[in-house]
Amino acid sequence: MDILRRMAEYRSEEENLKWEGTFSEYVELLKERPWVAQSAHSRVYNMIKDAGVEEKNGKKQYLFFKNQLFGLEEPLEKLVEEYFHPAARRLDVKKRILLLMGPVSGGKSTLVTMMKRGMEAYSRTDRGAVYAIKGCPMHEDPLHLIPHALREDFQKEYGIRIEGNLSPLNLMRLEKEFDGQIENVPVERIFFSEDKRVGIGTFSPSDPKSQDIADLTGSLDFSTIAEYGSESDPRAYRFDGELNKANRGMMEFQEMLKCDEKFLWHLLSLTQEGNFKAGRFALISADEMIVAHTNETEYRSFISNRKNEALHSRIIVMPIPYNLQVTQEEKIYEKLISESDVAGVHIAPHTLKIAAMFTILTRLKEPKRKDIDLIKKMRLYDGETVEGFNGADLQELKTEYDDEGMNGIDPRYVINRISSTIIRKEVSSINALDVLRSLKEGLDQHASITKDVKEAYLGYISLARREFDDMAKKEVQKAFVYSYEESAKTLMDNYLDNVEAYCHKSKLRDPLTGEEMTPDEKLMRSIEEQIGISENAKKAFREEILIRISTYARKGKRFDYQSHDRLREAIQKKLFADLKDVVKITTSSKTPDEQQLKKMNEVIARLIDEHGYNTSSANELLKYVGSLLNR
């Protein structure tokens, strides 16, 4: 891409977006595009909705958050449906501060940053266009120029409700510069920008002794008092506080509850009445969505202070817990690694998944039900099928605790340990064992972990290691079986022939001798036992298989090795059990013969070509599985 040419095109596109005209021309524009006059809350909601909405399992997923926030679909749906949507419809929710409350590194800051960047981009679209009185430091809504006596008639004609009063500065400009001729006041299109302080404000608390309320509401310009003769002249005031600049858009309060109380009191009238006090002026109207974020400890301390009760009722708290799905946690790590300078290092398959399993286990609470353990709960949360459990069980588990996901290991810790592994090893690849070892070592350096918590976390590392052991065996199993699909198909066909004869109470015919044989119970049980099918359950399982075959035939589809998940798993385990001795001898031999060496090379090639390993990680996997089988 020619960057200089692209920059010229970008400038041209920016110029084409600009618009200037008089108030009368702006009113004509509203006839064609009435949505331009939407409120700040409405603009935020439409920005999210216009990005697209998908429905999955009866739940809405807003595509605005896709590829940036993972595993937070339910909290985000609640946020949109219970805050943004009603606030956009001018319900009382818009008079509340939105407080995102959750653990560190849980996605609160990312969510707010996405909204700020989204607002910047949305203001450059037709649906998100914003217009303001030209030259106004607060980017004021031009409709504030319409006198209160005429607003009801305007609403009847245009269907647009006007809220707020003209600011002191624009009131003076209207009288002195335009002689009260509202129709001649200039209007321009503005574009939100945090960097240029247009429509997006950010306030971060600092030392209460040095931080000035002027950071929020602006300040008096003493150098102009001699020129204008009075401190109450709006021209002698700098309307450059964060609340001024955030008008028409959104205001972020970083770590809001760390702010000094005098800063929070200004939010009382801003949230409830839509205005705030600045200097020696009447209340100044502001249309902005206030978003704050904090952690649970600070929030509990805040609500326990009776002096803060006035603010309690003006805050809507939205919990943003940690993600509780392994596959989504993997995506978080993939995203963070892709943004780093170590993106070129080979990470062996399952490495991030095992790290994610450990992380999720630290966040889950022990099930209250006795028939389910933490591993099964983790699998159910991740959307896996677990024998004996269904969707109702999953919903029951999710309602056992109100605060699940508010504690545990944060993604930053895991990424720090993965980074440490990469840097320390100074090799081209890392695997799951490397990362688990690093996670374990890092617990000693984790300042906030108590001795009891550390013991629990070490237990979770052991559970994750056990899961990796199973994955490693299966991976080698697949690579070791020559013509794996053919072997699986042959075994399955043999099993199905016997199952059909068993269910129909018929006999099989030997293809070589032609003699009749009873169904091979030993073969069928050797496969079924691989997935825990009991003697009492075998008949129901076999009949279920036949029903599935019949359903496929009726639909004109072919039943194959991939058509039944549990049967496929049983076939895989049976094949591996039969091959275990071959694998053990081949991987553990210190001086492999020519035949063993050939088999090893074929397995390594298959691991590289079909399973995503490189030479180093494939060799490490084989050695590890060999050691497991020799124990």
Calculate mean pLDDT across residues 3-32: 92
pLDDT over 80 (residue 580):
no
pLDDT over 70 (residue 481):
no
How are beta strands 429-430 and 346-347 bridged, if at all?
parallel
pLDDT over 80 (residue 448):
no
Calculate mean pLDDT across residues 417-433: 81
pLDDT at 1: 60
Higher pLDDT, residue 488 or 492: 492
Calculate mean pLDDT across residues 312-319: 88
Residue 304, phi-psi category: left (phi > 0), alpha (psi -120 to 50), beta (remainder): alpha
pLDDT at 482: 60
Mean pLDDT of the chain, nearest integer: 88
pLDDT at 601: 84
Among 16-25, 72-81, 101-110, 347-356, the minimum mean pLDDT is found in 101-110
Q: How confident is the model at residue 433 (pLDDT cuts 50, 70, 90)?
A: very high
**pLDDT (tens digit per residue) in 378-388:** 999 998 888 78
Best CA proximity match to 75, nearest among 397, 296, 317:
317
pTM more than 0.85: no
Residues ≥6 apart with Cβ < 8 Å to 210: none
Token pair in block for residue 41: 């809350």
pLDDT at 543: 92
**pLDDT (tens digit per residue) in 163-208:** 999 999 999 999 999 999 999 999 999 999 999 999 999 988 776 6
pLDDT at 246: 94
Calculate mean pLDDT across residues 352-367: 95
Residues ≥6 apart with Cβ < 8 Å to 233: 172
Domain(s) labelled CATH 3.40.50.300 in the chain stretch across 3-319
CB 572 within 8 A of CB 579: no
Q: How confident is the model at residue 157 (pLDDT cuts 50, 70, 90)?
A: very high
CATH superfamily entry for domain 3-319: P-loop containing nucleotide triphosphate hydrolases (3.40.50.300)
pLDDT at 359: 96
β partners of residue 252: 202, 291
Token pair in block for residue 19: 């618009």
pLDDT at 201: 93
**pLDDT (tens digit per residue) in 499-536:** 999 999 898 887 777 788 899 999 999 999 988 999 99
pLDDT at 196: 94
Rounded Cα–Cα distance for residues 334 and 327 (Å) = 11
Q: Which residue has the tokens 């996997």?
A: 621
pLDDT at 485: 67
pLDDT at 427: 67
Calculate mean pLDDT across residues 107-124: 94
User: Diameter of the chain by CA atoms?
Assistant: 117
Residue 600: in which H helix or E strand, if any? helix 594-611
pLDDT at 229: 77
Ordered DSSP codes for 102-156: --TTSSHHHHHHHHHHHHHHHTTSSTT-EEEETT-TT---GGGGS-HHHHHHHHH
CB 108 within 8 A of CB 215: no
Rounded Cα–Cα distance for residues 201 and 194 (Å) = 7
CA distances from 194 to 198, 256, 392 (A): 6, 19, 45
Q: How confident is the model at residue 277 (pLDDT cuts 50, 70, 90)?
A: confident
Count CA atoms within 13 Å of residue 157 on its CB side: 9
pLDDT over 80 (residue 308):
no
Most confident of 315-319, 506-510, 560-564: 315-319
Count CA atoms within 13 Å of residue 556 on its CB side: 0
Four-CA torsion 234, 240, 241, 245, nearest 10 degrees: 110
pLDDT over 60 (residue 483):
no
Report CA 10 to chain centroid distance, whole Å.
Answer: 31
Q: How confident is the model at residue 252 (pLDDT cuts 50, 70, 90)?
A: very high
pLDDT at 426: 65
pLDDT at 51: 94
CB 287 within 8 A of CB 43: no
Rounded Cα–Cα distance for residues 45 and 60 (Å) = 14
pLDDT at 589: 66
Q: How confident is the model at residue 590 (pLDDT cuts 50, 70, 90)?
A: low
Among 196-210, 375-389, 457-471, 544-558, the minimum mean pLDDT is found in 196-210
